[in-house]
Amino acid sequence: MSERDVFEYALVRVVPRVERGECFNAGVIVYCRARSYVAARTHLDETKLLALDPGADVAGVRAALRGVEGVCCGGERAGQAAGDDAGRRFRWLIAPRSTVVQPGPVHTGLTADPEAEVERLLDLLVR
């Protein structure tokens, strides 16, 4: 059996009209401290977005989701978080905010392969 490590994850939610509080899952962020791993994968369901807000800025929401993925990648794509380690980038991304793209609560699990976990959770909870 492979060595399994604790990981944390949070869903990325789209809240088209913050004042209404309606949301849907559009991504997942996975962090595994033992492996210094953080990654995000997103999938925007435009039909859901436009059902909740016909006037939604689809391109803006897509850009915000790409931004989440970019922060996880680190380097130039991470902007101000470029020099931060994986844990700091994860904590920054899961900080509560009142915007159209926001994190959900953090959950934990065990995994032997954090990268596969990102895809599994995206398929299970988002797509």
The tens digit of pLDDT for each residue in 2-17 reads: 699 999 999 999 999 9
Q: Please state the domain count of the chain.
A: 1
Instruction: Place 82 in a pLDDT band, splitting at 50, 70 and 90.
Output: confident
Degrees to nearest 5, angle at CA 104 with 57 and 127: 65
Enter the tokens of residue 39.
């990654």
3-state helix, strand, coil split of the chain in percent (to 5) is 45, 30, 30
For 45, 79, 106, the CA distances from 42, given in Å and listed in that order, are 10, 19, 17
- Domain containing 90 equals 5-125
The pLDDT of residue 77 is above 90: no
Q: Which of 14-23, 46-55, 71-80, 85-94 has the lowest mean pLDDT?
A: 71-80
Q: What is the mean pLDDT of residues 35-45?
A: 96
The percentage of the chain sitting over the pLDDT mark of 70, rounded to a whole number, equals 98
CA 93 to chain centre: 8
The per-residue pLDDT for 87 is 93
Task: State how far the Cα of 98 lies from the Cα of 61, in Å rounded to an integer.
Answer: 14
Q: Which of 19-28, 52-61, 69-78 has the lowest mean pLDDT?
A: 69-78
Q: Cβ(54)–Cβ(46) under 8 Å?
A: no
